[in-house]
Structures are given as C-alpha cells and as structure tokens.
Amino acid sequence: MKRGRVIVTHRAPDRPPIRVAPGDPVTLGERDLDWPDFVWTTLAGGLGGWIPAALFDRDGGEAVAQVEYDTRELDADIGELLTLHRELASWWWAENAQGASGWIPARAIDVIPED
C-alpha cells in the first residue's frame, strides 16, 4: 500500500455522503468548476453529491451508474499519515490511523516514495 502525509487540512462537506451501485439510475447535472471530472449526481430519493462523470453511461441527464462509488470524504490534518488505497479523478481513497476511510484530494497529500 502507498502511504501519504497530509500537507493541507481537509474537511468533508456538511452534507450526507451518497452511494451508487452498478445499475442505479441517477440524474446528472452541472460539472464542478474546481473539479471538472466531477458532476452533481442526484439519486432517485433526491439526495445529491459530486461523483466522477466517467462512472456513468452518459455525460448528462438521466444516466446509470456503471460502478460502485461512495462520496464519503476523510477529514485530515496537516502532518497526518494516511494509507492510500486507490486514486480516481485526482482524489485518493485513504485510511487514517484510527481506521476511518474516505476520499481526500490528491493535492492535499504528499505521497511518500516506496523503498
């Protein structure tokens, strides 16, 4: 596993995370201006969140999720060491020393070179 050190404090947004599974119908809206790979995704129940657009069968409107995705973000402080599991759309799925996991922007992490 890769390891990384947090170089910029990150806090999750104040909204509940959402999850999609393959085959879930969603409505895709606007692209994020800061993170253009992400699209505002609204679930059938009305909750929404930012998900990489590449994970759907089309670019906008009514779409279907092709893979599983969870929008949960990980709170992290400068200097904290994280285990990095996978990178997607310039974000890392990471785990902290307490076992909490979620997404954190790649620009907030300095990846530690492997020996």
Residue 89: which domain range? 2-12+74-112
Chain center to CA of 30 = 17
Whether 115 has a pLDDT exceeding 80, the answer reads no
Assess whether 60 and 80 both reside in one domain: no
Calculate mean pLDDT across residues 58-77. 97
Task: Tell me what pLDDT residue 8 has.
Answer: 97
What confidence category does residue 53 fall into, taking pLDDT thresholds of 50, 70 and 90? very high
Query: How many distinct structural domains can be found in the chain?
Result: 2
Q: For the segment 16-39, what is each residue's pLDDT rounded down to a tens digit? A: 999 999 999 999 999 999 999 999
Assess whether 24 and 65 both reside in one domain: yes
CATH no. for residue 93? Answer: 2.30.30.40
Assess whether 36 and 64 both reside in one domain: yes
pTM: predicted TM-score of the whole model, two decimal places: 0.92
Distances (CA, A) of 46 to 14, 23, 28, 41: 16, 17, 12, 10
Assess whether 29 and 53 both reside in one domain: yes
